Amino acid sequence: MTRFRSNLAAAAVFVSLLAPLSPAAVAQTRQETLRAVSGGTINSLDPTLLGATRESIAFGLNTYDRLVSFATRREDGRLVFDLDHFRGELAESFSVSPDGLTLTFKLRPDATFHDGTPVTVQDVKWSLDRAVLAKSSAASQLASGSLTKPDQFVVVDDRTFQVKLPKADRLAMGNLATPFARIINSTLARAHATEDDPWANEWLKTHDAGGGAYEVERFAPGQQVVLRRFEAWKNGPDGKLPWFKRVIVQVVPEASTRATLLERGDADLSIDLQTPDVIAIEQRGKLKVVSNPQINAFTFLAFNGTRAPWDSVKLRQAVAAALPYDAMFQASLYGRGRKLYGADWTDAPPTPRFPQPMPVRPDAARAKALLAEAGFATGFKTTLAYSVGSAATLEPVAALVKEALSAIGIEVEVRKLADAQLASMETDKSFDMLLDGSAAYLPSTDYFFRIFYQGQTRWNFGGWNEPEIATLTAQARFETDPATYDRLAMRMIARAAAQEPIVLLWQPNLEAVMDPSIDGFTYWYHRQTDYRDLFRR
């Protein structure tokens, strides 16, 4: 079967899957229904459960509310989330005490869950208790904002709720705006708890107990989710309902098939097409493409600094000077993204924001000189690993790294590994060099450095443990003076540039391809779609 016919067959299957909807769904006009196609699967309705996919995590934002949400701002004409500002969601109002130790939230009086039950402060208390106590991914995330114990979550009266902090943590409010702090209908969830599962994890994995803008009409794990608008929702900006009455998300593994569905008008939106398909679609001009650099993500080359020879700063600097950055960027992403290399600064960065372009660029003479200073004038042999799952974007990069390092005497064996195998190597630091990408939920500079540049964790990809960085991040986390925080952040960035534990390469674009009638797409930290933002012109 040709690719074209294969795509048509898959498209027909997709359309047929939309037919067995409820009578109410069939009655909805095409105008009021958003049809999205996804390469990733929605495997859980509980975004906090271990193993929930990123697609599942994003679904939590559409079906559950939190006390607060990030505000949005415009960046280069595009809508993106604003890390530094918040708006109320379930909270009608909120405030921070002068010492930063008490966050106070006043609940909306008319908020309800999908079953009509009023949202109460007891629901908030149970939900946040669950977040820090249940076996899930929520506890570790919320801990990054000093949210760790149930006794920090205090019911003041029927509408007032407080969060108590041991120190004025900069990321406490931000963590309350993530899917990990969603507010659950506790009465409904507790009715399905058991002695072995006191937080109803198993039931919540496949059932809706929220009060968000959309409620789940149908959930076929790994295949399809159908959402219908919750008509009693009042927790959005200005109390407005989302524009779309129904959202259908179909899992379509083949990127080329997703592209075909969009171009035929059988789907409205996809955010995970292959770059060549996106470029071709743009050139044909029939669909809209909204490209956002993933401002909290980064692609990188890591050196295993926990062992020789990569514990040598000069060796790491030599490799950084040998890389053909522009050629790698073009080969990987066709230049679609934001470069994190080629900056002109030397001693201090121009901004405390991170990631930002770092002062690395190709310089073969410098690379050879540094290699000799590191004691490897005649070169050596090493390995470079990347995952099968990232092969489409990283395989050509690996080939260019191999070629560039060969030119200065370093012989590289490239290893393409299963995703799980690469993750294991990252955890136990059994690699030499590796190519990978990651992202931070809360792109605050101290958070980035706490997660990716220190500690005995998988995420400290370079195995870098510099005492000064530990001191700086500990101080910055609780620093309330903006000028002092900026100074600490800029010092962290300068130290990373000087020692090169990892080489930042670029931030890939999130490419949202949609029908020309769709508008309002916003880039969010979870790098998925917030269906509440979208509307049809």
Concatenate the DSSP letters of all residues of 463-530 into one string: ----HHHHHHHHHHHT---HHHHHHHHHHHHHHHHHH-SEEEEEEEEEEEEE-TTEE--EE-TTSS--
Lowest mean per-residue pLDDT among 16-25, 190-199, 237-246, 478-487: 16-25
Residues contacting 182, CB < 8 A, separation 6+: 47, 48, 60, 61, 64, 65, 66, 127, 210
Q: Give the span between the Cα atoms of 402 and 381, in whole angstroms.
A: 11
pLDDT grade for 28, boundaries at 50, 70 and 90: low
Q: Which is it for the CA torsion 56, 89, 292, 387, positive or negative?
A: negative
Domains of the chain as residue ranges with CATH: 40-239+512-536 (3.40.190.10), 297-508 (3.10.105.10)
Which of 78, 507, 526, 506 has its CA nearest to residue 293? 507
Region 359-364 average pLDDT: 96
Strands 269-270 and 502-514: antiparallel
The predicted pLDDT at position 13 comes to: 47
Region 342-365 average pLDDT: 96
Q: Give the span between the Cα atoms of 124 and 90, in whole angstroms.
A: 10
Q: Is the pLDDT of residue 50 over 90?
A: no
Tell me the average pLDDT of the chain.
92
76 residue type, one letter = D
- Token pair listed for 84: 């530094």
At 265-307, the pLDDT tens digits run: 999 999 999 999 999 999 999 999 999 999 999 999 999 999 9
pLDDT grade for 255, boundaries at 50, 70 and 90: very high
The predicted pLDDT at position 93 comes to: 96
The predicted pLDDT at position 62 comes to: 93
Q: Is the pLDDT of residue 2 over 70?
A: no
Q: Are 345 and 359 in contact (CB under 8 A)?
A: yes
Q: Give the span between the Cα atoms of 142 and 22, in whole angstroms.
A: 39
Region 71-85 average pLDDT: 90
Q: Are 476 and 483 in contact (CB under 8 A)?
A: no
Q: Is the pLDDT of residue 12 over 90?
A: no
CA distances from 292 to 445, 482, 512 (A): 20, 27, 8
Lowest mean per-residue pLDDT among 130-139, 334-343, 426-435: 130-139
At 436-477, the pLDDT tens digits run: 999 998 989 999 999 999 998 899 999 999 999 999 999 999
Phi, psi (deg, nearest 5) at residue 95: -150, 160
3-state SS assignment for residue 405: helix
Write the Ramachandran bin of 462: left for phi over 0, alpha for psi from -120 to 50, otherwise beta: alpha
At 218-234, the pLDDT tens digits run: 999 889 999 999 999 99
pLDDT grade for 23, boundaries at 50, 70 and 90: low
Strands 78-88 and 68-75: antiparallel
Distance in Å from the first CA to the final CA of the chain: 38
Strands 78-88 and 522-523: parallel
At 82-102, the pLDDT tens digits run: 988 999 999 999 999 999 999
Q: Is the peptide bond before 179 cis (omega within 30 degrees of 0)?
A: no
Which of 110, 104, 108, 103 has its CA nearest to residue 90? 108
- The Cβ of residue 137 has, within 10 Å, a number of other Cβ atoms equal to 17
pTM of the model: 0.89
Q: Are 81 and 64 in contact (CB under 8 A)?
A: no
